[in-house]
Structure formats: structure tokens, C-alpha cells
């Protein structure tokens, strides 16, 4: 493949991905980017990937994760989240894969985005709290756990998470109390 840069109006000649795009000129790219920000468009909208294809790709990532191939799963979930940033399960998978890789800051980014998508969902702050615990950030973990407990309270579909969040919150609070006692001594 040639390393020469193509002009803005002429597509490269040996790039099958670029050639498959429905836009090539600078004006076409500008129009795409302007439209992208409106009407809830995703990058998938500009590819030839169908929703069914996205589901197949998701299943690949899901199976990789369940097989313990977290690095591979993380890459596929990252691609899926980039292609459709509105699909919650892609962000959930991305966060879980990063958490399994002990990339807690990366997982926090994914869970943070997931939390913004639905501020009443107790899952993102609960998972974020677990990452904060792993990072030794008890105050942040406590905040996340309080949000998870609040968001799951009285919701039967989140009963298990509610109990887990309450139990972990108690542990974090006790650890913080013990830590403050030992530093005060």
C-alpha cells in the first residue's frame, strides 16, 4: 500500500474500507459529520452493517468474555460501542471486559457513559463502586454505592443488586471508619 497521502477530493486507491464508504470528498465528510450530531445518528448508520450483523458481532464479544478472553472481548465491545453509542449492552460489556482486565479507570469511563444514558439505573454506579474499591478510593466507592442503593430501592427487578450494594456499602463504611481511627491514633 502506498504511503502517499491522497488529496481531500480523491480517495485512496488501495483501501477497501475507504472505498466502501458512501462519502469521499471533504464536502461529503463535512455533511456526514454535521448530520451525525443531529437526529440520533450512529457510526453504524454510515456502514453496511445491519442490526442483525451487529447482534452477531455482539455475540462474538459476549462469548469471548464468557470464555475468559477479556482482551479480545474488550476490543470488540469497544468497536460496537463506537459504532452504536446508544446501545447500553455494548457499554455494559465494555465496562465488564475492562474491569476483568483490571483496567479500572477504563471500566469507570464505560460505566460513567452507561450511567449518563439512564441515571436511574443502579447497575452503573454499583459497578463503578466496585472499581473504586479496587482502586482504593473508598469515598468514591461509598458515593456510587449510595446511588446504587437509592436507585434500586423498591424495585423487584433490582432486588439482588440492592442487597449486594447495601452489603458492600456497609463494608466500605466500616473500612473507612477503621481507617480514620487508625490515622487518628
Asked if residue 166 is part of any domain, the answer here is yes
Give pLDDT tens digits for 128-161.
Answer: 999 999 999 999 999 999 999 999 999 999 999 9
Listed in sequence order, the residues at least 6 apart from 79 whose beta carbon sits closer than 8 Å to its beta carbon are 57
Q: Is residue 79 part of a domain?
A: no
The answer to whether residue 17 scores a pLDDT higher than 80 is no
pLDDT score for 14: 54
pLDDT, tens digit (0-9, with 9 covering 90-100), for 20-68: 555 567 776 566 556 555 566 665 556 666 778 888 989 999 999 999 9
For residue 137, being part of any structural domain is answered with yes
What CA–CA distance (Å, rounded) separates 150 from 128?
15
Domain with 178 in it:
121-185
Q: Residue 142's domain is classified under what CATH number?
A: 1.25.40.10
pLDDT number for residue 178: 84
pLDDT at position 83: 84
Amino acid at each position: 500500500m502506498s504511503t502517499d497521502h491522497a488529496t481531500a477530493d480523491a480517495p485512496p486507491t488501495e483501501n477497501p474500507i475507504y472505498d466502501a464508504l458512501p462519502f469521499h470528498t471533504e464536502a461529503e465528510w463535512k455533511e456526514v459529520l454535521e448530520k451525525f450530531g443531529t437526529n440520533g445518528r450512529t457510526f453504524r448508520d454510515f456502514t453496511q452493517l445491519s442490526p442483525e450483523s451487529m447482534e452477531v458481532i455482539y455475540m462474538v464479544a459476549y462469548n469471548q468474555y464468557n470464555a475468559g478472553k477479556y482482551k479480545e472481548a474488550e476490543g470488540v465491545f469497544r468497536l460496537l460501542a463506537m459504532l452504536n453509542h446508544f446501545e447500553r449492552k455494548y457499554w455494559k460489556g465494555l465496562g465488564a471486559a475492562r474491569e476483568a482486565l483490571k483496567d479500572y479507570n477504563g471500566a469507570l469511563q464505560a460505566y460513567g457513559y452507561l450511567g449518563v444514558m439512564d441515571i436511574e439505573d443502579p447497575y452503573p454506579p454499583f459497578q463503578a463502586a466496585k472499581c473504586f474499591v479496587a482502586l482504593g478510593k473508598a469515598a468514591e466507592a461509598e458515593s456510587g454505592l449510595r446511588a446504587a442503593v437509592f436507585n434500586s430501592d423498591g424495585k423487584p427487578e433490582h432486588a439482588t443488586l440492592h442487597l449486594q450494594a447495601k452489603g458492600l456499602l456497609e463494608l466500605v463504611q466500616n473500612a473507612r471508619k477503621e481507617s480514620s481511627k487508625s490515622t487518628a491514633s
